[in-house]
Structure 1
Amino acid sequence: MTLRSWAERPARLLATPWWRAVAALAAGALPALAFPAPALWWLAWAALVPWLLLLRSAASARRAALEGWLGGAGFLLAVHHWLLPSLHVFILVLAALLGLLWLPWGLVVHRLLGGAPGPGRVAAALLVVPCGWLLVELVRSWEYLGGPWGLLGASQWQVAPALRLASVGGVWLVGLVLVAVNTALAALLCAPRGRAAAATGLTGCAVLVCGVWLCAPVPALTGTARIAVVQPGIVDGTGSVQHRFDVQEDLTRRLAGQRLDLVVWGESSVGQDLGRRPDLSARLAALSRTVGADLLVNVDARRSDKPGIFKSSVLIGPDGPTGDRYDKMRLVPFGEYVPAREVLGWATSVGKAAGEDRMRGERQVVMRLPDTRGSGLRLGPLVCFESAFPDMTRQLTRDGAQVLVTQSATSTFQDSWAPAQHASLAALRAAETWRPVVHATLTGVSTVADPRGRITGERLGTDRSAAAVYDVPLARGESPYVRAGDWAVYGALAVLAVHCAAEFFRWAAIRGARRGGGPAGG
């Protein structure tokens, strides 16, 4: 076989429908490598290019739609592959259903980049393709469809210029810039007539990032709070719930004398309702007196004052529960409840779906610590999955929270990418809000991010059973994103509305020309 035939072989394979389907799945999965644990963040700036090139080369719009769907399914499977031991075959069903969201995106890419696009179509693609991607992310971010896990912009959690972008327009703005750069690179490769427009788009993205990096405001630091995180690690065997409590109690007791403002335990750190177990309440109050600080624990139990099981952040002072309590509002689909259980209840028989639905809280809560050292620190608690939602941390900041605290577990996914992916969200939420984020876990990755999104202090990995003390920087003021909100989302929706209107009028003009016997081209 000659060198030329080897070079032509990929083109021949991609002319085969089955090989194109495989290529679409693989191309859609590629951006997952930008997220932790691989954390190849730089890959996100070009990871969509193979998928874009595949879509624009589809033989028909129908084929492009199919490959958009397959690529979306591949992306979701790759980003959520660690759910396979829990959901088994059902994860394939979910990926196939949610992958349909990328079907219209495939059509848009094919329409704007297919054939031999000129400067006008390339310029339109630089605007519309990123906005179409954002719309897909926005829809799948609905909590009942799985929530905003694996948003492309979240892959840039350790990139300082991207975090500055997030402080201006949230994770949505970061995602828009990423997809715009990918679109421009694809156009440079496939659209000779539109390369000037593509180069202009790349330059515009660079100017935007540099301009925000140089000119956007930064948080003004106002002091520190001493906050301890207690991570017990894996606790197995009979009586593991009680054993875990004992381990956390012992680790907390070692913090005495360190002049703390707060001690944080992870999600489900207390397995019995404190109203039913006054002995546990008394032990927690004694711990608070020993360390000289309040404890923020998380109770996962059937309530004594309400029907059902709640996951609740509960503040404990030297006299016991202070009355500050936050009940988790956004639950993990299948992990904590089964959507439409009457229809999908069979999922509990093929995986580890929730046997009983957890109950939802009604409102977010800002807790205030006692003014023992002149701080009167205000906390905004979140439970696990909720740290993925930028609107929740934004609302807590607007309500006056000075520190955002996420209580998580991830014990089911200890040896997967999930703990690192979850912990990375602390940096993003901190940058968006100008509020430090304390991410405390039972067995995952515990970490703290400062108001600029930089990771600070000791990082407790999945192999640790320890307590760590952090001098957490505080900041005043509100970030542009907190003040202005989701303007990037509204702008993207406006662009898509204009594009849809233009396509409608184009279609109407072609149809009218055909009826009138005029030329059918457009």
Structure 2
Amino acid sequence: MSPLPTPGMTRLLSLPMAVVTGLLIGLGFAPMGVWPATLVGVALFTWLLAGRSAGSAAVHGLLAGLALNALTIHWISVLGVPVAVALVAFMSLWFLVLGIVVALLTRTRAWVFLVPAAWVGVETAAGSFPFGGFPWIRLAYTGLDQPIAGWFAWVGSAGVTFLLALGANLLLLAVVDRGLRLRATAGGLAVFLVGAALTLVPHAEPEQHVTVGVVQGNVNRAEKGTGTYARSVTANHLSETVFLLAEERARGGELDFILWPENATDIDPIADDTTREQIETAVRLAGVPIFVGAVMDGPVPDSRQTSSLWWHPETGPGDRYDKRNLVPFGEWIPFREFLLPRLPVLEQIGRQSIPGEGPGVVDAPTDAFEYLRVGTMICFELAWDSTSYDTVRGGAQVLVSQSNTNTYAGTFEVPQQTALNRIRALETGREVIVSTINGISGLVDVDGELSGTTEELTSAHRTFTVPLRTNTNLAVTLSPWLALVVSAAALGGTLYAVATRGGRRRPGRMDNSEQPIGSTQ
């Protein structure tokens, strides 16, 4: 296999092509879901960046990133256009880096494998830095509803990103190298055919099941920002719980516990008597525990924690989990003491959120299951592999997802979060019961299929019976190590390309702006 030829293209054509490439990649993400466009986009990205100088690669990578991010995460503009511009611009810088790395790696003979490794490496970095990163848009998240989805349970999101990019680059190789066309095509198709075959692997059918009532209380949007808003949200969830109980008793059903979403109460129910009474009324009427999403007072003055609190009808509030992955400049302010006096707009964020520690798993005793362990992923946390995998490592027998999507109702954020719930079910080998304040609640089965969904901006309730599982999918163990090893391979390949000045290159047309690093004109 030879280095990839540099495309003979003037900037008048290549710069618009970079924008088109970014848009094609973005079309595979929810709610569009046009995954063949993503494969074409990834292949074009590699071809377009092949062998470019650092400056040219940076510009083309940045343009592709701007197009991709503007398409997929423009929903953040509900917090203000400047916020959206800043986030899109910053996240696009990672594509600037990716562009330079891809340009270098395409000069090596192993580019077909190293370029996919670079995608994993850049995604891993973007999901970690700065301030904990923003791993919301990853190539793997286009892998739903296509044959490659079978890989999620085995190699996780990091592995699926690699395989998607590998499949795209193998198909590119088939186009540019006639001598390898047959083998490259076969290899690319094998990635997807094996993925399709893996979806046929049967799941165990545990004997024990729990029946869970899901409450979507909705909010009175006209009250947002008023003094009555916080209490009305909790009141709405109490009311919808009553409707759930009435329906269950009419049909003779029995619940094991009830699930309320993130921020079902914005007032600490331990410290506030009115809020505590509302929850205790709901628990008393239900006669079963309620897993409450609550904003709690933090461990230091003027702080808060977003928590999931197990509330038992006999013993009251019990085990709790505090959200680990917080939204920077949304739930907490980096360098708060310095920035807050200089940027008064940040006062809208309110009290500083304090992250929790440890896996999102709580002891959740019920009448039928004294030692039940329930795992939760709270909203934004869905984007972090480690947080999701830790629920299984921590012994969760059933998974729930609690979210407050009220701010982003009607935007791309809601279907993208739904897609993340589906991916986490595939990876962890657990059904995921989804509860939102007024987004899309429902049940995701172990095959990633969504059922019993609610409509946005409505109050609703659902009842789901799910098995208690103890299995650990290979993805939970392998994916974190896979991300590190593959990222290291990409770094090593990049250093090699720099050290050898790109090595030998296949002749290709190149204008003066496309000179390799270190060449002279």
Instruction: Pick the aligned partner of 2:471 from 474, 477, 489.
Output: 477
AA aligned opposite 1:282:
E
1:420 paired with 2:394, answer: no
CA contact (8 A) 2:210 2:466 kept: yes
> Residue 153 of structure 1 contacts residue 175 of structure 1 at CA under 8 Å; is this kept in 2?
yes
Quick check: 223-232 or 364-373, which moved more? 364-373
Deviation at 1:131, TM superposition (A): 0.5
Please name the residue that 2:169 is paired with: 183
Q: CA deviation at 1:349?
A: 5.8
Please tell me whether the aligned partners of residues 271 and 299 of structure 1 are also in contact (alpha carbons under 8 angstroms).
yes
Q: Is the 8 A contact 1:262 1:296 kept in 2?
A: yes
* 2:516 matched residue in structure 1: none
Q: 2:121 aligns with which of 119, 129, 135?
A: 135
Aligned to 2:208: 223
Q: CA deviation at 1:444?
A: 1.2
How far, CA to CA, are the matches of 1:339 and 1:494 in structure 2? 29
Alignment of 1:2-41 (within 5 A): 15-17=10-12, 20-41=14-35
Shift of the alpha carbon at 1:270? 0.7
Structure 1 alignment gaps of length 5 or more? 1-10, 115-119, 511-519
> Separation in 2 of the partners of 1:241 and 1:175?
40
2:235 to 235, 246, 255: 246
1:14-413 paired onto structure 2 within 5 Å: 15-17=10-12, 20-56=14-50, 60-113=53-106, 121=109, 124-142=110-128, 144=131, 146-159=133-146, 161-192=147-178, 194-196=180-182, 198-206=184-192, 208-210=194-196, 212-213=198-199, 218-236=203-221, 237=223, 238=226, 239-256=228-245, 257=249, 258-303=253-298, 308-319=303-314, 321-341=316-336, 345=340, 354-374=349-369, 376-413=371-408
Instruction: Please report how far the alpha carbon of residue 476 of structure 1 lies from its aligned counterpart in structure 2 after TM superposition.
Output: 3.0
Any unmatched runs of 5+ in structure 2? Answer: 1-6, 505-518
| C-alpha separation in 1, matches of 2:502 and 2:10 | 33
- Output the amino acid matched with 2:243: R
Separation in 1 of the partners of 2:203 and 2:34? 27
Deviation for aligned residue 1:317: 1.4
Tell me, in whole angstroms, the C-alpha distance in 2 between the residues paired with 1:222 and 1:476.
12
Answer whether contact 2:156 2:427 (CA < 8 A) is retained: yes
CA shift digits 1:166-214 (9 cap, x unpaired)? 1111111111111112212333334445535532531442454256445
DSSP 3-state at the match of 2:244: coil
- Asked if the contact 1:327–1:361 (Cα under 8 Å) also holds between the matched residues in 2, the reply is yes
Residue 78 of structure 1: how far off its partner (Å): 2.0
* Residue type of the alignment partner of 1:327: D
Query: Do 2:74 and 2:88's aligned partners in 1 also have CA atoms closer than 8 Å?
Result: no
Cα deviation for residue 83 of structure 1 reads 0.5
Tell me how far 1:52 sits from its aligned partner: 2.9
Aligned-residue offset at 1:504: 5.1
Change (3 A) 1:344 1:92: farther
Aligned to 2:271, the other structure's residue is in SS state coil
Q: CA deviation at 1:464?
A: 2.5
Cα distance in 2, alignment partners of residues 196 and 344 from structure 1: 58
Shift of 1:365: 4.4
The answer to which of 385-394 and 479-488 deviates more is: 479-488
Q: CA deviation at 1:419?
A: 0.9
Structure 1: distance between partners of 2:43 and 2:400: 37
User: What RMSD in Å do the two structures reach over aligned CA positions?
Assistant: 3.1
Distance in 1, matches of 2:209 and 2:277, equals 30
**CA–CA separation in structure 1 for the residues paired with 2:388 and 2:189:** 33
Give the letter for the 1:361 counterpart.
G
Name the CA distance, whole Å, in 2 between partners of 1:357 and 1:380. Answer: 25
CA 1:351/1:420 → structure 2, altered by over 3 Å: closer, same or farther?
farther
CA drift of 1:243 comes to 1.9
Task: Give 1:434 shift.
Answer: 1.3
Number of equivalenced pairs: 489
Match of 2:512 in 1: none
Q: Choose which of 463, 466, 483 in structure 1 pairs with 2:460.
A: 466
Task: Give the letter for the 2:135 counterpart.
Answer: P
Choose 191-200 or 125-134, whichever is displaced more: 191-200
- If asked which structure has higher relative contact order (CA below 8 Å, sep 6+), I would say 2
The corresponding residue for 1:5 is none
> In 1, distance between residues paired with 2:20 and 2:339?
29
Question: Distance between the aligned counterparts of 2:338 and 2:34, measured in 1?
Answer: 39
Question: TM-score, normalized by length of structure 2?
Answer: 0.84
Identity of aligned residues (%): 25
Which is worse superposed, 482-491 or 310-319?
482-491
Is contact 1:326–1:365 with CA below 8 Å preserved after alignment?
A: yes
Q: Provide the C-alpha distance between the structure 2 equivalents of 1:449 and 1:399, rounded to a whole number of angstroms.
A: 20
Alpha carbons of 1:69 and 1:192: their partners in 2 closer, same or farther (altered >3 Å)?
farther
Deviation per residue, 1:478-516 (Å, 9 max, x gap): 111224342321331343244245435534999xxxxxx
- How far 1:50 sits from its partner (Å)? 3.2
After TM superposition, give the deviation of residue 63 of structure 1 in Å.
0.8
Q: Are 1:309 and 1:359, in contact at CA under 8 Å, matched by a contact in 2? A: yes
Quick one: structure 1 residues 346 and 154, their matched pair in 2 at CA, closer, same or farther if it must change by over 3 Å? Answer: farther
Letter in 1 for 2:174: L
Q: State the shift of 1:440 in Å.
A: 0.8
Determine if contact 2:297/2:305 at 8 Å carries over to the other structure: yes
Q: What secondary structure does 1:46 align onto?
A: helix
In structure 1, the partner of 2:4 is none
